[in-house]
Each structure stands twice: as C-alpha cells, then as structure tokens.
Amino acid sequence: MEVAVPQQTPKRKWRRRALWSLGILIVLLLSALIAANVFLSRSLPETKGEVSLPGLLKPVTVVRDSRGVPHINATNEHDLYLAQGYVQAQDRLFQMDLSRRQASGRLSEVIGEKTVKNDKYFRTLGLRRAAEASYAEYTSEGKEALDVFAEGVNLYIDELKENGKWPVEFSLLGYEPERWTAVDSLTIGKYMAFDLGGNWEDQAFRQYLLQTFPKEKAYDLFPDYPKDAPYIISKEELDIEKSFASAVVPYEFNGSNNWVVSGSKTDSGKPLLADDPHLGLATPSVWYQMHLEAPTVNVSGVIFAGIPGIILGHNEKVAWGVTNTGPDVQDLFIEKRNPENEREFAFNDKWEKAEIVDEPIKVKDGKSLDYQVTVTRHGPVISEFAGKSGKDTVLALRWTALDPSAELEAVLNMNKAENWNDFEKALLKFETPAQNFVFASTDGTIAYKANGKIPIRKKGDSMLPVPGWTGEYEWKGYIPFDELPKTINPKEGFISTANNKVISDDYPYHISNNWAQPYRQMRIQEFLKANKKLTAEDMQTLQMDQVNLQAKEFAPRFLEVLKGSAGKQEEEALRILRKWNHIDSVDEAAPMIFNVWMRNIGDVLLKEEIPEETLNLFNGRRSAIDELLRRALDGKPGPWIEEGGGLEQVLAKSLQRTLAELEETQGNDIADWEWGDYHQVRFNHPLSSVTPLNYLFNSDGGVPVGGSSVTVQAAAFLEDGTVNHGGSWRFVMDLSDMSKAYHLVGPGQSGNVKSEWYHDQLDDWADGTYHQTVMNDPKGDKLTLKPVY
C-alpha cells in the first residue's frame, strides 16, 4: 500500500523561505551590532591595573571615582602634570584635538570645504599666533608644566598609534591627531578669551545702525547716547552688513553666576561659595573635573580639556569661582589704505607697512588655499576675510587677547594659594579674559575682584569704530591692577555677580557699555538677603532657582496693555499668564508663552528691517529690547515701537506670532502645553548633526528642563526649544570642610560613547542632583602609572 506524501504548497514554501531569510537577516544584524559594540568598546581607556609611561620619575596613582573624576596622586609636580595630560587624553582626546583645530583655523584639514570660512576667520584673528608669542611670557616652572603636560598627551597618542584603539570619531573622520605641544594648550586658552566674547561686534552693529537709519532711530538701540558726536564712515566706504556676514560671533549669553557668603550668614560659621559658568552645552562638556595632588599642591575642580592645572575649584585653604566681566577690551580701528600700495596704511600723516602673514589652509579632499592675513599697528584686518569690504578703508581689531600673556601660569599659582594675598598676587598674570573672581578662605575672608587687562583710551568710550590714522584713539595703558573693582569682607555678608554692572557711576575708568540683563543678579541678592544660617543645600537650591523676574516686571504690564483687545486664543494665553507665579516650571504653559513671546517681540521690532546676519552682531539685543519696552510702558515710546504701530500693536502681533508658532508643535489646546515639552536639553556631540551618527552620539533624546535665559538656573534656548546654553558646571562648597565639594558636570566626564560616564549626569543636570567629590581617600577604579627604568 502506498502512503501519500503531502505536497508543500507554494505559499508554505514562500513562508519558510521568508522565515529563513528573516532569521539570516536578524543574525546578520545582531552580528553587526555586536561587532559595532566591540569596536566602540575597544577604545575605552585603561582605568585599572598598571601602565608603563616613559618620562615618569616615580609611580603615580589615578583613582577614578563613581562619577569618573580622576584623582591623580604624584610625588612631584613633573609627574603630576605629565599624568594629567595622559589622563585627559584618555577621556577627551578627540575634543582636545577639535578644540585646537577650531582655535587654530585648521578644521578644514579634517572636515573639508564646509569649514573653510570658519578657518579663514580664526586664521585672521590669530589666536594661535598670540599663543606662540605668549610661550615666552612663562617662567621656567610654567613652561615645565606645559611641556610635561604635552608629553603626557603624546604618550597616550603613542599608545593609540601602537594598538590602533582610536576613539571612534578619528575613525569616522579618517585621520590621526598630530603630537600635542605647549602652544596647543595656550591656543585653547586664547580661544576661551574669544568664546567669552568681546565688544567689536556691537561696535560694528552700531556703525551699521548709523549708516542705515536716522540718528534718533539708531540711538534708540544704543545702550546710551554717545557723549561726543561719533565718527561715521559712509556705507560706500565700508559696508558693515556685507563685511561681517561670515563672522563667528560668540554666544550672546556667555556669562555666569557666582556668589560667596560670609560665615556670619551661614549655618556652619564658615564661608559658602557657589559658581556656575554659563557656556555652550555639548558632549563632551567644555569642563573636565579632576583632583591633582602632590607634596606642593592639592587642588580639586575643573579645567578645559587640553590645559594643565585646575582653573576653578578649591584647595585645602581657599576656594574660588568666576563670572565673565564683559569689559570693552576690543576696538575696531578704521584704517586708511594707501591707494597706491595696498600693504600700507596711514598713521599720523605717514604710510606704515602692514605685516602680511601667510596662512595657507589645507582642505580635506580639496585644493589647499593660499591665504594671507594683513596686520596693521592695531591688529588684524578682520573685515578682509569676507573679501574687499571697502574702497580704501578697512577695519582692524585691537584686542587684549592678541597680546602675549600668561594666564595658565596664573592658574598654576592660584592652585597653591593659601589666603587672599596669595590669590590676588596670582591674579597679576591673569590678563585675559577679564573675569569677576569671587574668593573664600578658611580664615573667614570673602573677596571679589574684577580682574584682567582693561584698556584706557586716549579718547572715546568704545561705542563705535574709530579712526586709526590720527593717533587720537590709541590705548594709553590699562586700568592699574590695584584700581580694578574689588571688595573684601563687605558688611552685607555676601558678594554676588551675574555679569551685571559691577561699578558705580563715579568709578574713574570705563569698563563696558553693555551689561547683562539684571534679573539673575537681582534674584540672587533677593535670596541671599532674605536668608540666614545658609547651607550648601541652600546654595544648590539657589543655583537651580527658576524665578523669572523679567516676567514679574513685564507680564502684568503687558496684560494691562492688551486688556479687552485680545482675540479668543490670545485671551486664553493671557488668562494663563494672569494666574502664573512667574516661575519657569517645567510643567506649566505660562513659561513657554512668555519666553517665546519675549523673543518674538524682538523679532517683530527688528527682523523686518535688519538682516539676520547683521542682527547676529547685536550682542546687547535682549537688554536693548527690555529698554525699548520700559520706555514705551512709561509712555515714552521710541522710533522702533512707534513705527511698529505702537506698543499695543507690537505686543498683539508678537503674541499672535508666538501662539501660531507654538500651536504647530504643541497643539491647539493651550491649557495642555508644558514648558518641558518644548524646552529640552540634549548636549549635542559635534558629529551628531550628521545622520545617522545622532543615534550613536545622542541616543538619549531631549530631557525636559525648567528655567530660562534670565533665571538663576540658566537655560537659554534655540528657536526650536533646544536648550543649548547654561550652567556648564555647577559648584558649591562649604569651607567648614575643605575635603569635599558638590559638583555637576553635564552631561558627564567621558567623551567615549561607551563609557558609563558619557551621559550619566544628563538627568542630574536637568533636576539638580549634585555629586560629592572628596579629596581624602577617594574610592574607585585604580590605575598605577609606572616609570620605565
């Protein structure tokens, strides 16, 4: 008897083949993911065991604590700084290389054509040329620290050349870093002077206003009316709008908060110190936290990756922090070019030869560019990077940061200070950027000093570009060190700064035409005045404070202006604002409405008449808009408000624009809006702008965060709501116990995407969860660096 064998239908065969193919695809995908994970993980640095390092004199221990903070213990300073260079490179080598390339104008070598304009600008500024000139300013001890730090970085680079375990960014971009030098560290230091801003952009913007608008309308956006009739160069001679279209402008909100409280107002009876520098928020953080210990120094805090020492923090006797003073340390000089010789410029009825610097720019996958920089007696001709900016007239930049200086020597000396006298003496060499230093010591002293080189001008107040050919506007020196703004042990029992005006009207020297909006400083002082028996926990609470005093000033008055004239949708928004407590909470709609409204008020007033590239030069824009609104609310509207149709129309139009913009992403029901749905921090990696690398480097997505650009918890945002600027490092210390302090370094210590310390402080940054770093007997992974005998 034959048994019938069932035949497979074509449909069943297709299913089996499909399942088989799917299985193969899953296996291949898993294999690829495993291989990628192994590839990424192999670049993780050694944090345990032993590593032999040529150049060490004695063994060095490196303990990384639970937050990835390296505690380096050496028997001498030579080994300490060599180990610091090695360890920084372990965690941040790609960031270090990118930083020196950015500041040196060498990004195009590894990126390509996209960064040529950026490179031209930084070659023109000459930060690296200034760094090269600065090396000679250092003592033998300072040079030793810089040189052995570089040696430590190079030892790690040598390891990578041998084992091939490069950070993934180098593999993706297809290059290997060059050897590190002391000048690289100094160039990064000069870049921070650039990043903390200047005032030439505002000078150029005011010049544009006077060229383009009637005087009354131009002066309406000035911080103050000029005391003397300004020199105005015609648009035909110099077109500001076109000349600076590609300028790299530092972020408007680069500022900070810091304060120090006397023991008379604290629970411990010893001073408290708090500092949170406001810079760009990215992966990795601009700051790298470390603890350095040798017989001659024991200091803990943060440093810029690529630099030796600790720039902000504490040792066993003193603690310190900074905010940006923001002085006028730049001048644009209008130069007259010899029509018969483009390399000569007029000065006191003579033609002077300018220095012509060759700065060839290599371009990845492209042809190298022959590029030259013209440097007059006042500095580099910065309008020329955009091409021929005028007939016979150009602008040269005079800037303190382009002079030789020795800030990193000052840092190393600050690290060893035992009291205010030691610390102030160290500040003698901290010339640029000018910073507001707050200080506290275990002997109970609290102090403040606005420190740095701030020029004294023969004539003028740095409001506008000035003639460079007459000699009238030259710098005749700097504010004497002993006459810089300073306070020691004030009767109020505290000192605070938040980029606010730091001098009284009778101060004999000019410092700045622009100061930050006053709201952060007002709130800090309000809190400190109202409280006694303050603790470190109170300081953390204040650093995370979301009270919006700008809203408290303007929102009620806006509501009064629009009372009875708003449409249905606008009235719902005004109703929400009417009930608001003026706190930028993450779960409310009012902060979103108000903060976006304030941005749109500026846009309604300015954007239709001023090109966006030119508006980018307007660093004092937010403060200027506040002043326009104050005058209008007090019944004295200026030309910008009047020509906008009057205050009521400006407010109504900008509110309508705000609601229409937000409805597209948040929906039609305003009551359901929450600030945190829009206002989110991401800490973007430099390569995450390239899809699909964003999934690798920024897989976390956005994290909702409260605060805004005007709250003590600083969180400035882009037009899409992305928080890209704020407290890059938060630091609190009670000087009753110098062995520990509280820190936050968002998003984490490591630049390696597979490290447990890559984004482990991202949520902490948003919700204010600090970690404690100790100086005595730290626990964690231990790496021993051994000499090669």
Q: What integer pLDDT is reported at residue 11 of this predicted model?
A: 62
**CA atoms of 700 and 690, how far apart (whole Å):** 16
Tokens of 236: 């035909």
Q: What angle do CA 41, 286, 436 make, to 5 degrees?
A: 160
All residues at 6 or more sequence positions from 382 whose CB lies less than 8 Å from its CB, including other chains:
121, 124, 125, 200, 247, 332, 395, 396, 397
Q: What integer pLDDT is reported at residue 569 of this predicted model?
A: 85
Tokens of 433: 């950027």
Concerning whether 256 is annotated as a catalytic residue, the answer is yes
Tokens of 114: 């996209």
DSSP at 419: S
Q: Which 3 state secondary structure label does DSSP give 366?
A: coil
CB 75 within 8 A of CB 295: yes
Task: Please give the single-letter amino acid code of residue 343.
Answer: R
**CA atoms of 11 and 311, how far apart (whole Å):** 71
| Residue in the structure block whose two tokens are 């899953």 | 26
Quick one: how far is CA 340 from the chain centroid?
A: 43
Residues of the chain with pLDDT under 70: 1-39, 224-255, 384-392
**What pairing do the DSSP bridges indicate for beta strands 330-338 and 730-734?**
unpaired
Phi-psi region of 105 (alpha: psi -120 to 50; beta: other; left: phi over 0): left
Q: What integer pLDDT is reported at residue 15 of this predicted model?
A: 64
Q: Is the dihedral of CA 274, 279, 284, 287 positive or negative?
A: negative
Q: What integer pLDDT is reported at residue 595 of this predicted model?
A: 98
Q: What integer pLDDT is reported at residue 423 of this predicted model?
A: 98
Q: pTM here?
A: 0.92
- 3-state secondary structure string across 526-554: HHHHHCCCECHHHHHHHHCCCECHHHHHH
CB 151 within 8 A of CB 392: no
Burial status of residue 634 (CB atoms within 10 A of its CB: 0-12, 13-18, 19 or more): exposed
**What pairing do the DSSP bridges indicate for beta strands 49-53 and 781-787?**
parallel
CB 62 within 8 A of CB 71: yes
Q: Residues annotated as binding site?
A: 328, 331
Render pLDDT for 445-481 as a digit per residue (tens, 0 to 9). 999 999 999 999 999 889 999 999 999 999 999 999 9
CB 278 within 8 A of CB 220: no
Helix residue spans in 634-743 (DSSP H): 639-643, 647-666, 675-678, 693-697
| Residue in the structure block whose two tokens are 């890559």 | 758
Domain ranges of the chain: 549-582+589-673
Q: Residues annotated as binding site for Ca(2+)?
A: 328, 331
Question: Catalytic residue among 104, 256, 688, 728, which?
Answer: 256
